[in-house]
A and B are shown apart, each in its own frame.
Chain A
Amino acid sequence: AQKVTQAQTEISVVEKEDVTLDCVYETRDTTYYLFWYKQPPSGELVFLIRRNSFDEQNEISGRYSWNFQKSTSSFNFTITASQVVDSAVYFCAMKGGSEKLVFGKGTKLTVNP
């Protein structure tokens, strides 16, 4: 069975701080896909990134960066110079062969001005 663990339930930072959201996954599949979604207070899940298990290259998109390490089964998400608009619940998710997207329980990030 697949499992995604986001150990940080809530994180609070002050604007312009860097923050890293942790994600650890478990799977027996050799091919799998990892995702991050953002859920602002409005409720809609916004897709941020998708990685497949064969591509361990880190990715940077503006202030967002992702670190994928198969050796530690982790797919961490860093926001650099956080802003108030980054306040949201962030979900890490994975999909293996079952086509079922399995989510972590989410990390609520609050960025204070």
Chain B
Amino acid sequence: EAGVTQSPTHLIKTRGQQATLRCSPISGHTSVYWYQQALGLGLQFLLWYDEGEERNRGNFPPRFSGRQFPNYSSELNVNALELEDSALYLCASSLGRVDGDTQYFGPGTRLTVL
């Protein structure tokens, strides 16, 4: 069974540009989560989508946004990129609507903002 996949693996942008990151969940999973892992800041929760709706949001500015498609894949968009947005962005998926269900992670997209 295929795991969570993310694309691209690496992304290099300049300050002020927009970045789009993509995630495909494990088959049968309806929930998708996004996390940012910046150097020295640990893993920070960004967004949670389930059944196409945004269910929860971390403490990030509105320029971080996303969506979930009918096939449960998801996009994370980061507008007006800043140098501090450079980080590993991890996507996870879970069965959804199940208390404490396990989140399985993808390999991540490493975003570098120059």
Contacts and interface: CB of A to CB of B under 8 A. Distances in A.
Given A33-B100, A43-B88, A99 B108 contact: no
Contacts of B70: none
A12 B42 CA distance: 20
Interface residues of A, number: 25
Interface in B14-68: 33, 42-43, 45, 48, 55-56, 58
A103 B108 contact: no
Contacts of B105: 37, 44-47
Given A43-B110, A99-B56, 10 more contacts: A31-B99, A33-B100, A43-B88, A44-B108, A45-B92, A46-B105, A47-B103, A47-B105, A95-B100, A103-B43
Interface of B: 33, 42-43, 45, 48, 55-56, 58, 88, 90, 92, 99-100, 102-108, 110
